[in-house]
Amino acid sequence: MTDLVVGIDIGTSGARAVAMDASGAVVAQAGAKMATFGDNFRDACVWWRTLDAALDTLFAEVDAHRVAALAVDGTSGTMLPIDSFGRPLADGLMYSDTVADTEILAAIAATAPPTSAAHGSTSGLAKVMAFQKVLSPWKVIHQADWIAGKFSGRFGVSDENNALKTGYDPVARSWPDWIEAAGADASLLPEVVAPGTPVGYAVSEHARRYGLSPETVVVAGTTDGCASFLATGAEKIGEGVTALGTSLTVKVLSEKPIFAPQYGLYSHRIGDRWLAGGASNTGGKVLAHFFADSRVAELSKDIDPVEPSGLDYYPLVGKGERFPIADPDLAPRLEPRPDDDPKFLHGIFEGVAAIEALGYERLAELGGPALKSLRSVGGGAANPVWTEIRKRLLGVPFLPALSEEAAAGTARLALQGAIAAGALRP
């Protein structure tokens, strides 16, 4: 009986796997840390060994033969050169790695449309061009593509979300001609399909090792950021998700794409809808700069979230902001600082919440929908006082997140693909 799907999340330092039933309920989950298997997190073999450990744990809890489909998400913009057998030819270049070759960056800047996500030294396309200068790869693919290929044997297929930073046009749904004009070898790029599309079967030796059925469908995945949104259960136009961790990220589901490079805003296609969002430099890092986590929890008890603090802060650790204000010279505003620490923390809570509210307003101004409801993930979302302040300033219903696990969002794509392939009934 095949009545489960599996979602796999390859993060910056570990791997997570979730087994989900046809109702969308998580029935088992497991994880492993990359540091257990090596200190080079760019090494694809370390990615695989980490996932291997996570899956061994997962399939000790559930029978792998019950899995109807699986899908993978990976870090956006992480690229890997491979040969025609899927073997890595070098370490990957991670999402945050930069390409220093000014000729490559200038060529992309001169040919790419202003709205393309391929601009910048960390873009996937810049990494493709850097690899083609020094290697002769069969393909240069995304991290999630390689992991999925280890199950299906198909390494030359990707999804529309991972391909965005590599220059893919999600509106035209194709690789644009300007990519070759920039000097990239378009034959190195993978075929691209929509997230949730069945792309093969788990027929490799790796799939057999876990006991997966050769009829297990391998489904096109997504990026880790999109997977985190999907995991929350947000699915209607105007529903937003705030990630309140070290930094602040806001995302909203929209009927149409939003592209505003000046704010670092790009839109991922999710079926016939769009996921638009932006990231601010504020967030938990500001709190951590002034207070330990235990002190934040202690001081929060002395804050009345209903009453305004009377302070007007724009909390940043240093100079510069990306979104909702695009200003590399924007200075932090954290004065005056009261002697009363609870009041100071109150002001920081309100300042971050005000930036969050302005972020959703900015998305609406740029063509997105008005925010209708909000789900929250990240460490900051667990602070009840901060949550009440945010509710007061945002003025929309706060809904519970079904899950904070990116792997659960990817499992939802696997469920979609399993139903589309007839491998599972809804």
Smallest CA-to-CA distance from 144 within 75, 49, 216, 45 is with: 75
Q: What is the mean pLDDT of residues 299-310?
A: 97
Residue-wise pLDDT for 6-39, tens only, equals 999 999 899 999 999 999 999 999 999 999 999 9
Smallest CA-to-CA distance from 170 within 95, 79, 274 is with: 274
Residue-wise pLDDT for 279-292, tens only, equals 999 999 999 999 99
Contacts by 153-157, CB closer than 8 A, 24 or more apart: 153/86, 153/200, 153/203, 153/204, 154/199, 154/200, 154/218, 155/82, 155/86, 155/190, 156/190, 156/191, 157/190, 157/191, 157/192, 157/193, 157/199, 157/200, 157/220
266 domain-assigned: yes
Q: Is the pLDDT confidence value at 1 over 80? A: no
Same domain, 274 and 175: no
400 domain-assigned: no
**pLDDT value, residue 91:** 98
Same domain, 317 and 214: no
Domain count, the chain: 2
Residue where the block lists tokens 């491998």: 423
Same domain, 173 and 319: no
Residue-wise pLDDT for 140-154, tens only, equals 999 999 999 999 999
Q: Is the pLDDT confidence value at 387 over 90? A: yes
- Output phi, psi for 251, to 5 deg: -140, 145
Tell me how crowded residue 114 is: count the other CB atoms within 10 A of its CB.
Answer: 10
d(CA 272, CA 274): 7
Range of the domain at 153: 4-227+406-420
Residue-wise pLDDT for 245-298, tens only, equals 999 999 999 999 999 988 889 999 999 999 999 999 999 999 999 999 999 999
Q: What is the mean pLDDT of residues 164-192?
A: 97
Q: Can you say whether residue 259 is alpha, beta or left, with left for phi > 0 and alpha for psi between -120 and 50 degrees? A: beta
Residue where the block lists tokens 């699986």: 70
Biggest CA-to-CA distance, the chain: 66
425 domain-assigned: no
148 domain-assigned: yes
Same domain, 161 and 306: no
137 domain-assigned: yes
**pLDDT value, residue 12:** 87
Tell me how crowded residue 292 is: count the other CB atoms within 10 A of its CB.
Answer: 10
d(CA 69, CA 64): 10
Same domain, 330 and 376: yes
Smallest CA-to-CA distance from 220 within 266, 154, 176, 127 is with: 154
User: Which residues touch 146 (CB under 8 Å, ≥6 apart)?
Assistant: 44, 47, 80, 82, 86, 88, 155
Tell me how crowded residue 207 is: count the other CB atoms within 10 A of its CB.
Answer: 22
d(CA 130, CA 125): 9
426 domain-assigned: no
Q: What is the mean pLDDT of residues 194-218?
A: 96
Question: Please, is 289 exposed, middle or buried when counting C-beta atoms within 10 Å of its C-beta (0-12, 13-18, 19+)?
Answer: middle
**pLDDT value, residue 81:** 98
Same domain, 51 and 125: yes
185, 174 Cβ separation under 8 angstroms: no
Question: Would you call 210 helix, strand, or coil by DSSP?
Answer: helix
- Cα-to-chain-centroid distance, residue 165: 12
In angstroms, what CA-CA distances link 326 with 5, 11, 51, 266? 41, 28, 38, 14
69, 418 Cβ separation under 8 angstroms: yes
Sign for the pseudo-dihedral over CA of 114, 119, 125, 130: positive
99 domain-assigned: yes
Residue where the block lists tokens 């909702």: 324
Same domain, 269 and 204: no
d(CA 231, CA 248): 18
Same domain, 159 and 248: no
Q: Report whether the peptide linkage leading into residue 214 is cis, meaning its omega lies within 30 degrees of zero.
A: no
Q: Is the pLDDT confidence value at 424 over 90? A: no
Same domain, 155 and 19: yes
CA dihedral 98, 99, 104, 108 (to 10 degrees): -20
- Cα-to-chain-centroid distance, residue 24: 20
Residue-wise pLDDT for 309-357, tens only, equals 999 999 999 999 999 999 999 999 999 999 999 999 999 999 999 999 9
Same domain, 217 and 344: no
Give the domain CATH number at 82.
Answer: 3.30.420.40
Same domain, 262 and 136: no
**pLDDT value, residue 47:** 98
Amino acid letter, residue 351: G
Angle 201-204-206 from CA coordinates, rounded to 5° = 120
232 domain-assigned: no
Same domain, 204 and 248: no
Smallest CA-to-CA distance from 276 within 240, 247, 236, 248 is with: 240
Q: What is the pTM of this model?
A: 0.93
